[in-house]
Amino acid sequence: MNYIYSKVSSEKKFFGKTDPFQLIEKYGTPLYTYNENILRLRCRDLKGLISYSNFTVNYSLKANSNLELIKIVRSEGLRADAMSPGEIYLNRMAGYKPEEILYISNNVSEDEFSYAINEGVKISVDSVSQLTMFGKLNPGGKVSFRLNPGVGAGHHEKVTTAGQKTKFGIEMSSIPEVKKIIEKYNLRLIGINQHIGSLFMDSEAYLKSTGNILSIARQFDDLEFVDLGGGFGIPYNKQSDQPRLDLKDLGGKLTKVINSWVKEYGKDIEFKIEPGRYIVAESSILLGKVNAIKTNYNIKYIGTDLGFNVLIRPVMYDSHHDIEIYRGNDIPSLKEENVNIVGNICETGDIIAKDRKLPEILENDILGVLDSGAYGYSMSSNYNSRLRPAEVLIQADGNPRLIRRRDTFDDLVKNFML
């Protein structure tokens, strides 16, 4: 096999003892591949973020909910967040105890609250109205709430999850009402959490919002935890040497703020963070095949099986993913050119990389979409009645293992009343 353009995966020895051609021959295409060593490394990065003994990292499952990956994350000592009853169920299946799971609810029904209450997980509510519903269902229970500190951050307005223009959290001015409802239903407020948005690459907004949540937390004297949220960014432009988020700097500053706050509060309560993307994004390369190439009115289209049913981030958020090229023979690429890399879905917007300058791509090349582990498979769909891809883990010993089979036609019809 000829690695035409593969600096990132080669340096990381991403494919272990195998290579993209062997992988798609065995498991088919498109194919999500994951590297166990990288996943473990990213877990350890964040476990070491803060020097404070009562610090826990909750993996936010919605970024990627493959059971085998959750088990690896768990084996690294991380705990778990859930955004839905389904995620509570998956976390329990991965071996988490109820008290290790924090259910961060948003506009849920009474049934969903009851499920979470019966499971015994920790629960955070997202509005005064939901706090009231929770109080009626579980008077005397323990609860936490999600604060909207009024500032947000994120790579796109759709993923900025705090600030003055988002549905999330309880605004500062509603805190007196929160206190009233807590008293009315005899609830015990054990935690406050926030999540200001996804994919920040410098620490300023995170530190600012930490200051905000801590000033609110001070008003409650019986807390067990404060949860600072996720959103830790990863460099999606590795081919152009984008620097990483400076965890040492952020961690050092957070450590200072937390230690001095705790001293004042008088109790070594737990501090949590809740990363999703940072843990899993870089552990995956999505492989797809080049089936057709054409030029339409001066634009060159590389036609692949990587439709937005497989990876929707570029279409949904205008996200950038670096692309690698692997070739099954030793024909070289003699020039670079600008191309649109597109999928096989019947929509003009089905573009995975637009006007991208790359070495010449040939039919039957395999493309590798870097950093596709977060919000990749978990946002995939059967749109156009396409089959969702398989997932393969490159294990620590370098050997591949199938961790989710590809959909079959049976999966497309399994819910019909046949």
Ligand X SMILES: *Cc1c(COP(=O)(O)O)cnc(C)c1O
Taking CB under 6 A as the rule, does residue 104 contact ligand X? yes
- Binding range to ligand X, per CB under 6 A, among 59-67, 70-78, 244-252, 331-339: 59-67
By CB under 6 A, residue 73 contacts ligand X: no
Distance of alpha carbon 337 from alpha carbon 360, whole angstroms = 6
Q: Which is closer to ligand X, CB of 63 or CB of 353?
A: 63
Q: Give the residue from 88, 57, 9 showing the smallest Cα distance to 228.
A: 57
Is 231 a residue that touches ligand X (CB under 6 A)? yes
C-beta closer to ligand X: residue 274 or 391: 274
| Residue count of the chain | 418
Output the residue with the shortest Cβ distance to ligand X.
Answer: 276
The torsion of the CA quartet 61, 63, 66, 69, rounded to 10 degrees, works out to -80
> Considering the complex, what minimum distance in angstroms separates the CB of residue 230 from ligand X?
3
Interactions with ligand X, residue window 277-296 (CB under 6 A): 277-278
Measure Cα distances from 325 to 34, 135, 375 in Å: 17, 55, 22
Q: Assess whether 43 carries a catalytic annotation.
A: no
Element (H, E) at 323: strand 323-327
Q: Please report whether residue 92 would count as binding ligand X according to CB under 6 A.
A: no
Part in contact with ligand X (CB under 6 A); list of ranges 194-202, 300-308, 391-399, 401-409: 194-202
- Regarding 274 and contact with ligand X (CB under 6 A), the answer is yes
Residue 388 C-beta: closest distance to ligand X, Å = 20
Find the binder of ligand X among 20, 30, 229, 376 (CB under 6 A): 229
Q: With binding defined as CB under 6 A, does residue 195 bind ligand X?
A: yes
Kindly state whether residue 373 participates in binding ligand X, applying the rule CB under 6 A.
no
Determine, following the binding rule CB under 6 A, whether residue 275 of this chain makes contact with ligand X: yes
The answer to whether 149 contacts ligand X (rule: CB under 6 A) is no
Cβ 63 to ligand X, closest distance in Å? Answer: 5
Q: Is 228 in the site for ligand X (CB under 6 A)?
A: no
Taking Cα atoms as reference points, which of 125, 171, 116, 174 lies closest to residue 145? 125
Q: How far is the CB of 106 from ligand X (least distance, A)?
A: 8
Q: Is 66 helix (H, G, I), strand (E, B) or coil?
A: coil
Contact between 94 and 78 (Cβ < 8 Å): no
The sign one gets for the Cα dihedral 114, 90, 142, 144 is negative
Nearest CA to 339 out of 398, 292, 404 is that of 292
Selected catalytic residue, list 266, 295, 346, 410: 346
Minimum distance, C-beta of residue 342 to ligand X, in the bound complex (Å): 27
- Look up residue 23 and give its amino acid: L
Q: Does 64 bind ligand X (CB under 6 A)?
A: no
Cβ of 400: how many Cβ atoms within 10 Å?
Answer: 20
DSSP 91-138: HHHTT--GGGEEEE-SS--HHHHHHHHHHT-EEEE-SHHHHHHHHHHS
Closer residue to ligand X in complex, CB, 94/199: 199
Residues 24, 33 contacting (CB under 8 angstroms)? no
Contact between 198 and ligand X (CB under 6 A)? yes
Q: Are 95 and 67 in contact (CB under 8 A)?
A: no
List 23, 57, 63, 216, residue binding ligand X (CB under 6 A): 63
Provide the 3-class DSSP secondary structure of residue 327: strand
Q: Is 175 exposed, middle or buried (0-12, 13-18, 19+ CB in 10 A)?
A: middle
Q: How many residues bind ligand X (CB under 6 A)?
A: 19
Nearest approach in angstroms of CB 35 to ligand X is 19
Query: Shortest gap between Cβ of 277 and ligand X (angstroms)?
Result: 4
Q: Is 42 in the site for ligand X (CB under 6 A)?
A: no
Min separation Cβ 141 and ligand X, Å:
20
Q: Which residue reads 């609110």 in tokens? A: 216
Closer Cβ to ligand X, 232 or 308, answer by number: 232
Pick between residue 276 and residue 400 the one whose CB is nearest to ligand X: 276
CA 266 to chain centre: 34
d(CA 208, CA 226): 15
Is there binding between residue 389 and ligand X (CB under 6 A)? no
* Interface positions with ligand X (CB under 6 A): 60, 62-63, 81, 83, 104, 195, 198-199, 229-232, 274-278, 374
For the annotated catalytic residues, the residue numbers are 346
